[in-house]
Amino acid sequence: MIRCKNTIFVLETQNTQYVLGVDKYGYNHHLHWGKKCDINDFCTPQIGDQNSNHSMLDAFRQEYTPFGKTMYRGCAVKAEFFDGCREINLKYDGYAQKDDCLELQFSDTVYPLAITLHYQTYADCDIISRWVTVKNNGDTPIYFEKLCSAEFNLPSANPYTFKNTNGAWGGENIETNTLLEGGAWVNESRRGISGHNQSPYFIAYQNADEKSGDVYFATLAYSGNFKVKAERDLFGKTRIILGMNDFDFRFQLNAGETFDTPKVFCGYTQGFGEMSRQMHKFAVENILPKSHNDKLLPVLYNSWEATEFDVNCENQTALAKIAAEIGVELFVMDDGWFGKRNNDRAGLGDWFVNREKFPNGLDALINQVNALGMDFGIWVEPEMVNADSDLFRAHPDWTYHYDTREACELRNQRVLNMTREDVQEYVFNCLHTLLSEHNIKYIKWDMNRPFSETGAENLECPQMLWYLHTKAVYDIVDQLKALHPDVAIESCASGGGRTDYGALMHFDQVWTSDNTDAIDRMVIQKGYSLLKPIKTMRAWVTDINWYNKPCTLDFRFNIAMQGALGIGGNLTKYTEKDLEICKKNISLYKQIRPLVQFGKLYRNMDIDKDEILFNQYVNAEKTESVAFIAANGTRFYKKSVPMRFSGLDEQKRYTLSINGKTYEKSGAYLMNVGIDLEVRGADYNRIILINQV
């Protein structure tokens, strides 16, 4: 709900309130974010006196700070006008409100620039979305040096701790917590994609844990270079600005043009658990593409770890037969099926079937997969080209490059200049043809290297390539989805290099990490679950063992079944007993997957803090739940650990079986007393179904 009183604007969700205002000078003020207060108490503060050491603009809380005047801290927007003036000086023009949307309109006092701040409330998820529109009302270009999506002010004068997930390839989503007492905290990407290393969001908290404490969070929906910068001043004001990175940034807005920044989704909750549950619900209902957001994800098999580049009709059919027997619903052939792709040195760009590997074409395999009762999916890496490819030989100028510089090849490949229309057309046509000519129901869209030699001679303002590349990817994915609505598309970038909310607005799911070691995955998946929906998190059972501790097949299933289950091991090497274990777990997963993919997640115990992972998923009606317990060896003799459940209805009675013993207890008992368990031994794992009596 949005209420406007004079120039005070109150945005309300079920449990939170966000208040802003404008004053007679045209300044936009941030007034409140958090629990609900009486709206009559709010007024815009008087801007104080300023002297040479105390700038008034530095001191007050703004919703969106332009560069200029005596403002010295970080700003949200900075532009250069035709005469070289690099200051923006805004006046307030009015507002518009419709349903859950509010816009506040400002324009420069002298130059033809209009800036609109947008807000949209999603009341039942307690989420607010923010973005900014800039419009050039003049007849010469305006160049932005900075153009962020939103600025936030936190209420307490005491320092906040900033949680983020940092990492690397094979170690995505590893939590970090940084206390910001003074100076700045920056999280960013300069790689062209959001990347494995830092994530485009902040989670700022005080005295918080899973169940309580103030938690403020905001995530940027953008897969390109981003920057999240928080600053805390001597007076205890903590501010955060999120947006496209101002590194190598120059954004040309031509006469008459309008531009919407990427959106930001933000919220305030008590505890991290509620934050995750609100964001999961919000993403599934409002963010994920509508073609698949409410559909259960199929159990997939992916051939990468079994056959790598050595795919052919025979070995894929052999894998497909076993996959079908154990209950797989979607068979995905990974890299190696096209061009001269026998290793990573050739073929990218040539999206035509390799006739040596598939003499009778792709359909020979697809028809067999379909006859086995499975859908067929395929791997592509459309933004890339190998120098050893027909595409590169025909169009050596289609990559980002400088004629005077040698290309840095990473994984022997170069990045296609996706800002060129001819490149976009080529990529779109290849994929559209592939999907039109074959019964393909799923695409794994990979992106295996960051950018370098970022020359784009086709662009008047080459720094715009960072944004335009990302936009081109989104546009092509959207066009393909519009023409092939039954095809699901997964975002992969060497594992989890592009799993941000921008990607989630276009792709249906993501590849979480190339690291499928179950022990590492406990941590990687927890970090992913903080803000991103479980439904999108592909998790495979494979044979890899990076942690140097082999895990039982049941243990690996326990971890992978906590996401969108996939199988990636070499099934031809599995024993009859292994295949029985696969069958049993896949069948159980099909039973519980509505809970996992659409339920509410409760992280009852944490593998790092408690040595035990204890996650629980509960349906909306609180009639069904599934709990996963896993420990990869515990210290001391964990003879009796009280396992207290969450998210149930205190009044309802439930049954559950653990270790062959059946219990019937009230929700109140299960949540407040719990069941004592002996958690010991290698690869301890249990899956507990909890049902209302």
Catalytic positions: 446, 514
Local structure of residue 285 (DSSP, 8 states): I
Residue pair 475/410 in contact (Cβ under 8 Å)? The answer is: no
Cα gap 229→208, rounded to integer Å: 21
Q: Closest separation between CB of residue 348 and ligand GLA, Å?
A: 9
CA distance to 360, 521, 605, per residue, from 635 (Å): 57, 20, 16
Ramachandran assignment for 55, one of left (phi > 0), alpha (psi -120 to 50 degrees), beta (any other): beta
Burial of 466 (0-12, 13-18, 19+ CB in 10 A): buried
Q: Which segment (39-47, 175-183, 492-500, 580-588) binds ligand GLA by CB under 6 A?
A: 492-500
495 is an interface residue for ligand GLA by CB under 6 A:
yes
Residues 462-481 that bind ligand GLA (CB under 6 A): none
How many residues lie near ligand GLA (CB under 6 A)?
A: 11
Q: Pick the binder of ligand GLA from 492, 524, 567, 581 (CB under 6 A).
A: 492
The minimum distance between CB 608 and ligand GLA, in angstroms, equals 25
Tokens standing for 313? 């009709």
Asked if residue 381 lies in contact with residue 422, where contact means CB atoms within 8 angstroms, the answer is no
What is the spatial distance between Cα 293 and Cα 486, in angstroms, rounded to a whole number? Answer: 12
The contact mask relative to ligand GLA for 93-112 (x = CB under 6 A, - = no) is --------------------
Q: Are 586 and 329 in contact (CB under 8 A)?
A: no
511 or 669: whose CB is closer to ligand GLA? 511
- Interface mask toward ligand GLA for 538-577; x: CB under 6 A: ----------------------------------------
Calpha distance 40→48 (Å, rounded): 22
Q: How far is the CB of 511 from ligand GLA (least distance, A)?
A: 6
Strands (E), 155-303: 160-168, 171-180, 183-188, 201-206, 214-220, 226-232, 238-244, 251-253, 258-260, 264-270, 300-302
Binding mask 309-348 for ligand GLA (x = CB under 6 A): -------------------------xx-------------
Least separation in angstroms between residue 192's CB and ligand GLA is 16
Window 618 to 677, contacts with ligand GLA (CB under 6 A): none
Task: Report the residue number, 444 or 600, with the smaller CB distance to ligand GLA.
Answer: 444
Stretch that binds ligand GLA, among 98-106, 112-120, 490-498, 622-630 (CB under 6 A): 490-498
Q: Which is nearer to ligand GLA, 30 or 441 (CB)?
A: 441
Q: Closest separation between CB of residue 146 and ligand GLA, Å?
A: 33
Phi-psi region for residue 453, left (φ > 0), alpha (ψ -120 to 50) or beta?
Answer: left
Report CA 597 to chain centroid distance, whole Å: 16
One residue of 446, 508, 517, 624 binding ligand GLA per CB under 6 A: 446
Counting Cα atoms < 13 Å in the Cβ hemisphere of 589 gives: 32
SS3 40: helix
Which residue from 16, 189, 316, 494 is in contact with ligand GLA, where contact means CB under 6 A?
Answer: 494
**Closest C-alpha among 203, 288, 243 to residue 537:** 288
Is-contact 29 62, C-beta < 8 A?
A: yes
Does residue 81 sit in helix, strand or coil? coil
Report the nearest approach of ligand GLA to the CB of residue 496 (Å).
Answer: 8
Is the Cβ of residue 238 or residue 515 nearer to ligand GLA in the bound state? 515
Kindly state the smallest distance separating residue 465's Cβ from ligand GLA, in Å.
23
The nearer residue to ligand GLA, 214 or 500, going by C-beta atoms, is 500
- Residue 304 lies near ligand GLA (rule: CB under 6 A): yes
Min dist. Cβ of residue 308 to ligand GLA (A): 8
Task: Rule CB under 6 A: choose which of 62, 389, 448, 585 binds ligand GLA.
Answer: 448
Binding of ligand GLA at residue 507 (CB under 6 A)? no
Beta bridge partners of 13: none
Shortest distance, CB of residue 172 to ligand GLA, whole angstroms? Answer: 11
Q: What radius of gyration do the chain's Cα atoms show?
A: 26
Closest CA to 305 of 564, 578, 542: 542
Q: How far apart are CA 539 and CA 536, in angstroms?
A: 9
- Binds ligand GLA (CB under 6 A): choice among 81, 251, 398, 511: 511
Which of these segments, 258-266, 476-484, 487-495, 553-561, binds ligand GLA (CB under 6 A)?
A: 487-495
DSSP string, 196-216: SS--SEEEEEES--SSSSEEE
Name the residue nearer to ligand GLA (CB basis): 174 or 464: 174
Residue closer to ligand GLA (CB basis): 128 or 539? 539
Asked if residue 379 binds ligand GLA (CB under 6 A), the reply is: yes
What CA–CA distances, in Å, run from 146 to 43, 55, 140, 424, 496? 30, 22, 18, 27, 27
What residues line the site for ligand GLA (CB under 6 A)?
A: 304, 334-335, 379, 446, 448, 492, 494-495, 511, 514
